[in-house]
Amino acid sequence: PTIPEADRCEFRGCNAYDNWDDGIHSQFSIRMSYSDNRCYGNGEAGIDMLGDDSNAVVGNVCYNNGLNGIEAGNTTASGTPDAHHTITGNTCADHTGSGIQLSGAGNGSINHVVSGNVCEGNTQRGIYLVNAPVTDCLVVGNIARNNSNRGIYIANAGGGAPAGNVITANYAEGN
């Protein structure tokens, strides 16, 4: 399902699978909650938050999607920054893209908490924060293993280095 411009909606215990596009998609929404969902076999992302702010993404299992497991970002350089998401306790495995990807299309990714996630077997990165600036993001206590690129990659960081993560058996150097 797609939810545009919502405030305080909740997706809990959903099975989103075999969709042509995303499993669950919100757009320009705030304070959304995604918990205990299973998102797999979708053509794009398992969970996609486009231009959202202050969402909680907790305890989801996303696997075998055509792009990323969980993604958040803005698609235009003139939009607002992608900000204030808490992404914790999720399992993201075997995606064509990355397990978790947060981007801001030049507007930045700011004040995210990414903790306690397991990201493994992805064709790209386990956890990927990109598009300048990446500011004051906390990336701690995650497991990133057996990804075809880096385990955890934070591009253009302006504060908030990763700490206390287990990063092992990824293909690219510089984990």
Confidence (pLDDT) at 77: 54
The residue among 161 and 22 whose pLDDT is bigger is 22
Q: Is the pLDDT of residue 167 over 90?
A: yes
The residue among 80 and 143 whose pLDDT is bigger is 143
Q: Which of the four pLDDT bands, split at 50, 70 and 90, describes residue 75?
A: low
Confidence (pLDDT) at 65: 98
Q: How close are the terminal C-alpha atoms of the chain, in Å?
A: 35
Ordered DSSP codes for 33-60 = EEES-EEES-SS-SEEEES-BS-EEES-
Under a CB-based contact definition with an 8 Å cutoff, are residues 47 and 69 in contact? yes
Question: What are 133's strand-pairing partners?
Answer: none
Confidence (pLDDT) at 104: 67
Here the tokens at position 8 are: 């305080």
Compute the average pLDDT of residues 13-18: 98
For 115-161, how does the pLDDT look when each residue is reduced to its tens digit (9 = 90+)?
999 999 999 999 998 875 677 889 999 999 999 999 999 887 666 66
Q: Is the pLDDT of residue 109 over 80?
A: no
The residue among 157 and 70 whose pLDDT is bigger is 70
Rounded distance, CA 86 to CA 21, Å? Answer: 24
Question: What are 103's strand-pairing partners?
Answer: 73, 130
What percent of the chain shows pLDDT beyond 90?
64
The residue among 135 and 163 whose pLDDT is bigger is 163
Q: What is the mean pLDDT of the chain?
A: 88
Best mean pLDDT range from 53-67, 104-118, 154-168? 53-67
Global pTM? 0.92
